[in-house]
Amino acid sequence: MTDRLSLALSGGIVALPETGRVLLMRPPGGLSTEALPLDRIVAEQGFRPDFEALEARGVTVTPEAEGSFSGAIVFAARAKALTFDMLARACARVGPGGPVIVDGAKADGIDSVLKRVRAAAPVGEVYSKAHGKCFAFEAPAETPEDWAAPPASVDGFLTAPGVFSADGIDPGSALLAEHLGDLAGRVCDLGAGWGYLSARVLAEPKVTECHLVEAEHAALACARANITDPRARFHWADATRWEGGPFDVIVTNPPFHSSRKADPDLGRAFIAAAARLISPRGRVLLVANRHLPYEAALNAAFGEVTVLDDAQGYKVIAARRPIRRQA
């Protein structure tokens, strides 16, 4: 739990119902449970690392919550469409008049969220602390139609709010796709998202399997809908820790943000995972923003690194001959 939410609860500024289940929507993995009724809480968290962290703390957690609840806490997401979709679903779960608590950072647009909520329902006292806000409202009898953001078809693919490149094909992935000809054998798509690269991989007849590894449950659900090829295998997992392989080819467009901050270490972790999962004679095909400093990590993990393309602000890199180090 954020300090802000904890203080708002302990100070009586916002309150949870005394009985019944409480739904937490996208709580952080570092959630503190001290002020929460742990025996009545169900956390809905689709991001696998946070899911596992919550589970390790003894929180009942699921990627998709079901049933009704006495109250809900929504943790604002970076994608505003996802935040309001969660609010719409929270209102449906608690029913008209049910309490919905919202906690979010200024950087995640909590001010504009508060403004839109106030236009739909009365809001109680607002608690401001640590560059964010916490407030509560009662679910209205009719939730505004523009709050819900169901999966949508974009560029012929199903996407969902909050997933990477929800508005269409990522330009970096499109550039990498131009270099996916003549693939064969077992292929892995690390950080597969909603499946664009895997769809291009599976267009190659010599590919025997394509394993989609994706940490976001919603994105993987879209990938399942987008790809019906029987050669596809789906894994809801943290790509940096997943155990599989060996693969003949690995394709990846690694994420490079943790929250709103650029985090090259995340891309480096993907590179290390690719080096671990690729076969000795296999190759890794990676795309990244031109400014990201991945060369040192690639050269440390592979004996051969080649830039195949450098265009539109992206670079496509091929890596071979993984360097195996003794533990």
Closest CA to 60 of 37, 91, 77, 34: 37
Q: What pLDDT is attached to residue 184? A: 98
> How many whole angstroms from its chain centre is CA 267?
15
Q: Which residues contact 140 (CB under 8 A, 6 or more apart)?
A: 91, 96, 120, 121
Contact 276, 268 (CB under 8 A): no
Bridge partners (DSSP) listed for residue 216: 47
Whether CATH 3.40.190.10 fits 152-322 = no
| Structural tokens at position 228 | 């019906």
Strand 261-262 relative to strand 99-105: parallel, antiparallel, unpaired? unpaired
Q: Which residues contact 92 (CB under 8 A, 6 or more apart)?
A: 139, 143
| Structural tokens at position 257 | 């943000």
Pick among 3.40.1410.10, 3.40.50.720, 3.40.50.150, 3.10.129.10: CATH of 3-138: 3.40.50.150
Q: Return the number of other C-beta atoms located less than 10 Å from residue 51's C-beta.
A: 22
Q: Is the peptide bond before 246 cis (omega within 30 degrees of 0)?
A: yes
Contact 72, 24 (CB under 8 A): yes
pTM of the model: 0.94
Q: Each residue's pLDDT tens digit in the chain (327 positions)?
A: 468 999 999 999 999 999 999 999 999 999 877 889 999 999 999 999 999 999 999 999 999 999 999 999 999 999 999 999 999 999 999 999 999 999 999 999 999 999 999 999 999 999 999 999 999 999 999 999 999 998 899 989 999 999 999 999 999 999 999 999 999 999 999 999 999 999 999 999 999 999 999 999 999 999 999 999 999 999 999 999 999 999 999 999 998 755 555 678 999 999 999 999 999 999 999 999 998 989 999 999 999 999 999 999 999 999 999 998 665
Contact 193, 163 (CB under 8 A): yes
Q: What pLDDT is attached to residue 19? A: 97
d(CA 104, CA 83): 10
The enclosing H or E element of 55 equals helix 48-56
Q: What pLDDT is attached to residue 35? A: 83
Ranges for all domains in the chain classified under CATH 3.40.50.150:
3-138, 152-322
Strand 232-236 relative to strand 261-262: parallel, antiparallel, unpaired? unpaired
